[in-house]
Structure 1
Protein backbone atom coordinates (compact mmCIF):
# COMPACT_ATOMS: atom_id res chain seq x y z
CA UNK A 1 0.00 0.00 0.00
CA UNK A 2 1.38 3.39 -1.00
CA UNK A 3 1.60 6.00 1.76
CA UNK A 4 0.50 9.53 1.02
CA UNK A 5 1.85 12.62 2.68
CA UNK A 6 0.22 15.99 3.21
CA UNK A 7 1.27 19.13 1.40
CA UNK A 8 2.70 20.48 4.67
CA UNK A 9 4.80 17.33 5.11
CA UNK A 10 6.05 17.68 1.54
CA UNK A 11 7.01 21.33 2.06
CA UNK A 12 8.84 20.44 5.30
CA UNK A 13 10.69 17.65 3.51
CA UNK A 14 9.01 15.02 5.69
CA UNK A 15 8.67 12.16 3.23
CA UNK A 16 8.28 9.53 5.94
CA UNK A 17 4.52 9.75 5.94
CA UNK A 18 4.62 10.45 9.66
CA UNK A 19 1.39 9.94 11.51
CA UNK A 20 -0.94 12.82 12.02
CA UNK A 21 -1.28 14.17 15.52
CA UNK A 22 -4.23 13.01 17.58
CA UNK A 23 -6.80 15.77 17.72
CA UNK A 24 -9.32 16.10 20.55
CA UNK A 25 -12.52 14.04 20.37
CA UNK A 26 -15.13 15.88 18.34
CA UNK A 27 -12.57 17.41 15.97
CA UNK A 28 -13.70 17.93 12.40
CA UNK A 29 -11.84 16.39 9.45
CA UNK A 30 -8.10 17.15 9.56
CA UNK A 31 -8.05 19.28 6.40
CA UNK A 32 -10.90 21.44 7.68
CA UNK A 33 -9.36 21.50 11.15
CA UNK A 34 -6.02 22.97 10.05
CA UNK A 35 -7.65 25.44 7.68
CA UNK A 36 -10.05 26.83 10.29
CA UNK A 37 -8.26 26.45 13.63
CA UNK A 38 -6.75 29.77 14.71
CA UNK A 39 -4.34 28.16 17.17
CA UNK A 40 -5.68 30.40 19.93
CA UNK A 41 -5.08 27.77 22.60
CA UNK A 42 -8.43 28.20 24.34
CA UNK A 43 -9.05 24.44 24.11
CA UNK A 44 -5.62 23.72 25.61
CA UNK A 45 -6.33 26.01 28.56
CA UNK A 46 -9.71 24.37 29.05
CA UNK A 47 -8.38 20.80 29.11
CA UNK A 48 -9.04 19.49 32.61
CA UNK A 49 -6.33 16.81 32.53
CA UNK A 50 -3.55 18.67 30.72
CA UNK A 51 -3.51 16.13 27.89
CA UNK A 52 -3.94 18.80 25.19
CA UNK A 53 -0.75 20.48 24.06
CA UNK A 54 0.23 22.95 21.38
CA UNK A 55 1.40 20.64 18.62
CA UNK A 56 3.00 21.16 15.22
CA UNK A 57 1.84 24.39 13.59
CA UNK A 58 0.40 25.61 16.90
CA UNK A 59 -2.60 23.32 16.58
CA UNK A 60 -3.92 21.40 19.59
CA UNK A 61 -2.96 17.75 19.85
CA UNK A 62 -3.48 15.09 22.50
CA UNK A 63 -0.39 13.92 24.34
CA UNK A 64 -1.38 10.90 26.40
CA UNK A 65 1.99 10.90 28.16
CA UNK A 66 0.75 14.04 29.94
CA UNK A 67 -2.74 12.84 30.82
CA UNK A 68 -5.87 11.11 29.67
CA UNK A 69 -8.94 12.38 27.86
CA UNK A 70 -12.01 12.23 30.07
CA UNK A 71 -14.31 13.25 27.21
CA UNK A 72 -15.58 16.23 29.20
CA UNK A 73 -16.13 18.44 26.10
CA UNK A 74 -14.42 21.39 27.79
CA UNK A 75 -12.20 21.80 24.73
CA UNK A 76 -15.25 21.84 22.45
CA UNK A 77 -17.00 24.39 24.66
CA UNK A 78 -13.91 26.63 24.57
CA UNK A 79 -13.32 26.41 20.80
CA UNK A 80 -14.35 29.72 19.19
CA UNK A 81 -13.97 28.39 15.62
CA UNK A 82 -16.07 25.24 16.08
CA UNK A 83 -13.38 22.86 14.83
CA UNK A 84 -13.82 20.88 18.04
CA UNK A 85 -17.45 20.14 18.67
CA UNK A 86 -19.58 18.12 21.06
CA UNK A 87 -21.80 17.07 18.14
CA UNK A 88 -22.45 13.33 18.68
CA UNK A 89 -22.07 12.56 14.96
CA UNK A 90 -18.57 14.06 14.86
CA UNK A 91 -17.62 12.55 18.23
CA UNK A 92 -18.72 9.12 17.00
CA UNK A 93 -15.79 9.22 14.56
CA UNK A 94 -13.36 8.74 17.49
CA UNK A 95 -11.84 5.37 16.59
CA UNK A 96 -8.77 5.21 18.78
CA UNK A 97 -7.81 2.32 21.02
CA UNK A 98 -4.80 1.36 23.12
CA UNK A 99 -2.12 -0.82 21.54
CA UNK A 100 0.33 -2.72 23.73
CA UNK A 101 3.66 -3.65 22.16
CA UNK A 102 6.33 -6.23 22.94
CA UNK A 103 8.08 -4.01 25.52
CA UNK A 104 5.23 -4.78 27.96
CA UNK A 105 6.67 -6.15 31.18
CA UNK A 106 3.74 -8.52 31.71
CA UNK A 107 4.20 -9.92 28.20
CA UNK A 108 7.83 -10.54 29.13
CA UNK A 109 6.98 -12.45 32.29
CA UNK A 110 7.53 -9.61 34.79
CA UNK A 111 4.80 -8.71 37.26
CA UNK A 112 3.23 -5.40 36.21
CA UNK A 113 -0.42 -4.44 36.12
CA UNK A 114 -0.08 -0.68 35.97
CA UNK A 115 -2.07 -0.18 32.77
CA UNK A 116 -4.88 -2.45 33.96
CA UNK A 117 -5.14 -0.55 37.24
CA UNK A 118 -5.76 2.68 35.31
CA UNK A 119 -8.28 1.21 32.87
CA UNK A 120 -11.74 2.08 34.20
CA UNK A 121 -13.49 0.29 31.34
CA UNK A 122 -11.95 -3.13 31.89
CA UNK A 123 -10.32 -3.22 28.47
CA UNK A 124 -7.00 -4.23 30.03
CA UNK A 125 -7.19 -7.14 32.43
CA UNK A 126 -4.87 -9.77 33.77
CA UNK A 127 -5.81 -13.44 33.96
CA UNK A 128 -4.14 -15.30 36.79
CA UNK A 129 -1.80 -18.06 35.68
CA UNK A 130 -0.89 -20.98 37.90
CA UNK A 131 2.76 -20.76 38.87
CA UNK A 132 3.46 -17.70 36.74
CA UNK A 133 2.82 -14.06 36.02
CA UNK A 134 -0.76 -13.01 35.30
CA UNK A 135 -1.41 -12.95 31.55
CA UNK A 136 -2.35 -9.70 29.86
CA UNK A 137 -5.75 -9.69 28.17
CA UNK A 138 -6.78 -6.73 26.05
CA UNK A 139 -10.35 -6.25 24.84
CA UNK A 140 -10.26 -3.62 22.08
CA UNK A 141 -14.07 -3.50 21.98
CA UNK A 142 -14.10 -2.25 25.60
CA UNK A 143 -11.40 0.38 25.02
CA UNK A 144 -12.64 3.94 24.53
CA UNK A 145 -9.22 5.35 23.61
CA UNK A 146 -8.99 7.64 26.66
CA UNK A 147 -5.24 7.03 27.06
CA UNK A 148 -5.31 6.58 30.85
CA UNK A 149 -3.06 3.54 30.43
CA UNK A 150 -0.32 5.35 28.50
CA UNK A 151 1.45 7.62 31.01
CA UNK A 152 1.77 5.13 33.87
CA UNK A 153 3.39 2.39 31.75
CA UNK A 154 6.99 2.10 32.98
CA UNK A 155 8.33 0.88 29.63
CA UNK A 156 6.29 3.04 27.23
CA UNK A 157 4.71 -0.10 25.78
CA UNK A 158 1.23 1.43 25.52
CA UNK A 159 0.16 3.83 22.78
CA UNK A 160 -3.21 5.04 21.56
CA UNK A 161 -3.74 4.81 17.81
CA UNK A 162 -6.44 4.22 15.26
CA UNK A 163 -8.12 0.91 15.91
CA UNK A 164 -7.18 -0.43 12.45
CA UNK A 165 -3.42 0.16 12.91
CA UNK A 166 -1.32 -2.87 13.73
CA UNK A 167 0.68 -3.06 16.93
CA UNK A 168 4.41 -3.67 16.64
CA UNK A 169 5.48 -7.07 17.95
Structure 2
Protein backbone atom coordinates (compact mmCIF):
# COMPACT_ATOMS: atom_id res chain seq x y z
CA UNK A 1 0.00 0.00 0.00
CA UNK A 2 1.26 3.48 -0.79
CA UNK A 3 1.78 6.24 1.72
CA UNK A 4 -1.01 8.73 2.38
CA UNK A 5 -0.42 11.80 0.22
CA UNK A 6 0.64 14.70 2.45
CA UNK A 7 -2.02 17.24 1.57
CA UNK A 8 -2.39 20.30 3.70
CA UNK A 9 -5.42 22.57 3.79
CA UNK A 10 -3.25 25.15 2.04
CA UNK A 11 -2.50 22.74 -0.82
CA UNK A 12 -6.16 21.94 -1.17
CA UNK A 13 -7.23 25.58 -1.20
CA UNK A 14 -4.37 26.73 -3.44
CA UNK A 15 -5.31 24.28 -6.16
CA UNK A 16 -2.64 21.61 -5.74
CA UNK A 17 -5.59 19.27 -5.30
CA UNK A 18 -8.59 19.79 -7.52
CA UNK A 19 -11.45 20.56 -5.17
CA UNK A 20 -13.77 20.80 -8.19
CA UNK A 21 -12.99 17.24 -9.23
CA UNK A 22 -15.98 14.92 -9.18
CA UNK A 23 -15.34 12.32 -6.51
CA UNK A 24 -16.77 8.80 -6.27
CA UNK A 25 -20.30 8.68 -4.84
CA UNK A 26 -20.49 8.78 -1.06
CA UNK A 27 -17.24 10.66 -0.44
CA UNK A 28 -15.81 14.17 -0.76
CA UNK A 29 -12.56 15.98 -1.45
CA UNK A 30 -12.22 16.85 2.23
CA UNK A 31 -12.73 13.26 3.39
CA UNK A 32 -10.37 11.93 0.76
CA UNK A 33 -7.66 14.50 1.46
CA UNK A 34 -7.70 13.60 5.15
CA UNK A 35 -7.75 9.80 4.89
CA UNK A 36 -7.14 8.48 1.35
CA UNK A 37 -3.80 6.74 0.89
CA UNK A 38 -3.95 6.82 -2.89
CA UNK A 39 -3.61 3.03 -2.98
CA UNK A 40 -5.64 2.75 -6.19
CA UNK A 41 -7.83 -0.16 -5.11
CA UNK A 42 -10.91 1.81 -6.16
CA UNK A 43 -9.38 2.34 -9.61
CA UNK A 44 -8.73 -1.38 -10.00
CA UNK A 45 -12.19 -2.39 -8.78
CA UNK A 46 -14.32 0.11 -10.76
CA UNK A 47 -16.15 -1.98 -13.40
CA UNK A 48 -16.64 0.96 -15.77
CA UNK A 49 -13.08 2.30 -15.48
CA UNK A 50 -14.10 5.86 -14.61
CA UNK A 51 -12.06 6.27 -11.43
CA UNK A 52 -8.61 7.78 -11.95
CA UNK A 53 -6.05 9.00 -9.44
CA UNK A 54 -5.41 12.71 -9.81
CA UNK A 55 -3.17 14.55 -7.34
CA UNK A 56 -3.11 11.45 -5.15
CA UNK A 57 -6.91 11.27 -4.86
CA UNK A 58 -9.59 9.43 -6.83
CA UNK A 59 -11.84 11.37 -9.17
CA UNK A 60 -14.38 10.36 -11.78
CA UNK A 61 -13.53 10.71 -15.47
CA UNK A 62 -16.87 10.48 -17.25
CA UNK A 63 -15.30 10.55 -20.70
CA UNK A 64 -14.30 6.95 -19.92
CA UNK A 65 -17.84 5.85 -19.08
CA UNK A 66 -20.58 6.24 -16.49
CA UNK A 67 -21.02 5.54 -12.80
CA UNK A 68 -23.43 2.66 -12.21
CA UNK A 69 -23.52 3.26 -8.44
CA UNK A 70 -22.37 -0.30 -7.83
CA UNK A 71 -20.53 0.71 -4.62
CA UNK A 72 -17.51 -1.43 -5.54
CA UNK A 73 -15.19 1.50 -4.77
CA UNK A 74 -16.67 1.91 -1.28
CA UNK A 75 -16.55 -1.81 -0.58
CA UNK A 76 -12.88 -2.22 -1.51
CA UNK A 77 -11.61 0.96 0.18
CA UNK A 78 -9.71 0.20 3.42
CA UNK A 79 -9.95 3.81 4.65
CA UNK A 80 -12.94 5.62 6.23
CA UNK A 81 -13.60 7.94 3.29
CA UNK A 82 -17.02 6.73 2.15
CA UNK A 83 -19.88 8.04 4.25
CA UNK A 84 -22.56 6.46 2.08
CA UNK A 85 -21.61 3.07 0.70
CA UNK A 86 -24.91 2.86 -1.18
CA UNK A 87 -25.06 6.36 -2.68
CA UNK A 88 -27.39 6.47 -5.70
CA UNK A 89 -26.62 9.98 -6.90
CA UNK A 90 -23.66 12.28 -7.37
CA UNK A 91 -24.44 15.94 -6.57
CA UNK A 92 -23.71 17.12 -10.09
CA UNK A 93 -26.03 17.77 -13.01
CA UNK A 94 -25.34 17.63 -16.73
CA UNK A 95 -25.11 20.84 -18.74
CA UNK A 96 -25.04 21.16 -22.51
CA UNK A 97 -22.50 23.54 -24.05
CA UNK A 98 -22.49 25.48 -27.30
CA UNK A 99 -20.47 22.75 -29.03
CA UNK A 100 -23.58 20.53 -28.98
CA UNK A 101 -24.33 19.25 -32.47
CA UNK A 102 -28.08 19.91 -32.09
CA UNK A 103 -27.34 23.52 -31.10
CA UNK A 104 -25.23 23.75 -34.27
CA UNK A 105 -28.10 22.47 -36.44
CA UNK A 106 -26.89 18.87 -36.71
CA UNK A 107 -29.35 16.17 -35.67
CA UNK A 108 -27.90 14.34 -32.68
CA UNK A 109 -29.49 12.90 -29.55
CA UNK A 110 -26.63 10.74 -28.27
CA UNK A 111 -26.77 12.22 -24.78
CA UNK A 112 -30.47 11.37 -24.46
CA UNK A 113 -29.90 7.88 -25.77
CA UNK A 114 -27.14 7.30 -23.21
CA UNK A 115 -29.06 8.64 -20.19
CA UNK A 116 -30.37 5.83 -17.96
CA UNK A 117 -32.46 8.28 -15.90
CA UNK A 118 -34.39 9.74 -18.86
CA UNK A 119 -33.27 13.20 -17.66
CA UNK A 120 -32.57 14.58 -21.14
CA UNK A 121 -35.41 15.53 -23.44
CA UNK A 122 -35.28 17.13 -26.85
CA UNK A 123 -37.67 19.97 -27.52
CA UNK A 124 -38.77 20.85 -31.04
CA UNK A 125 -37.75 24.10 -32.65
CA UNK A 126 -38.70 25.69 -35.95
CA UNK A 127 -36.14 25.32 -38.70
CA UNK A 128 -33.69 22.99 -37.02
CA UNK A 129 -33.13 19.82 -35.04
CA UNK A 130 -34.66 19.41 -31.60
CA UNK A 131 -32.72 21.04 -28.73
CA UNK A 132 -31.63 19.24 -25.55
CA UNK A 133 -33.15 20.12 -22.19
CA UNK A 134 -31.92 18.70 -18.86
CA UNK A 135 -34.32 17.85 -16.04
CA UNK A 136 -32.01 18.45 -13.06
CA UNK A 137 -34.39 16.66 -10.69
CA UNK A 138 -34.08 13.43 -12.69
CA UNK A 139 -30.32 13.66 -13.30
CA UNK A 140 -28.39 11.30 -11.00
CA UNK A 141 -25.01 12.75 -11.98
CA UNK A 142 -23.88 9.39 -13.39
CA UNK A 143 -22.11 10.93 -16.40
CA UNK A 144 -23.52 8.58 -19.05
CA UNK A 145 -24.37 11.58 -21.22
CA UNK A 146 -20.78 12.88 -21.01
CA UNK A 147 -19.40 9.58 -22.25
CA UNK A 148 -21.91 9.34 -25.09
CA UNK A 149 -21.46 12.86 -26.51
CA UNK A 150 -19.38 12.69 -29.71
CA UNK A 151 -18.16 16.31 -29.41
CA UNK A 152 -17.59 16.62 -25.62
CA UNK A 153 -20.39 19.20 -25.30
CA UNK A 154 -21.75 17.78 -22.04
CA UNK A 155 -20.20 18.78 -18.73
CA UNK A 156 -21.15 18.24 -15.11
CA UNK A 157 -21.81 21.13 -12.74
CA UNK A 158 -22.19 21.02 -8.99
CA UNK A 159 -25.80 20.56 -7.96
CA UNK A 160 -25.37 20.80 -4.19
CA UNK A 161 -26.36 23.98 -2.34
CA UNK A 162 -22.83 24.95 -1.34
CA UNK A 163 -21.24 23.71 -4.56
CA UNK A 164 -19.48 20.99 -2.59
CA UNK A 165 -19.41 17.28 -3.25
CA UNK A 166 -20.72 15.80 -0.04
Which TM bucket (shorter chain)? 0.7 to 0.9
Question: Residues 32 and 18 (structure 1 numbering): CA distance in 2 closer, same or farther, change over 3 Å?
Answer: closer
Which one of 70, 74, 87 corresponds to residue 76 of structure 1? 74
* Separation of aligned partners in 2, 1:138 and 1:32: 30
* Separation of aligned partners in 2, 1:70 and 1:93: 10
TM-score of the superposed pair, with normalisation by structure 2: 0.80
Question: Residues 113 and 159 (structure 1 numbering): CA distance in 2 closer, same or farther, change over 3 Å?
Answer: same
Question: Residues 81 and 9 (structure 1 numbering): CA distance in 2 closer, same or farther, change over 3 Å?
Answer: closer
Aligned-residue offset at 1:42:
0.8
Describe how 1:94-109 pairs up with structure 2 within 5 A. Answer: 94-109=90-105
Q: Which residue of 2 aligns with 1:7?
A: 10
Q: Size of the alignment, in residue pairs?
A: 153
Q: Which residue of 2 aligns with 1:22?
A: 22
- Structure 1, unaligned stretches of length 5 or more? 1-5
- Structure 2, unaligned stretches of length 5 or more? 1-8, 162-166
* Separation of aligned partners in 2, 1:153 and 1:47: 21
Helix, strand or coil for the counterpart of 2:128?
Answer: coil
TM-score of the superposed pair, with normalisation by structure 1: 0.79
* Separation of aligned partners in 2, 1:69 and 1:95: 13
Which of structure 1's runs of 4+ aligned residues deviate more than 2 A? 9-12, 17-20, 29-32, 84-88, 91-94, 127-132
Aligned-residue offset at 1:120:
1.5
Aligned-residue offset at 1:130:
5.9
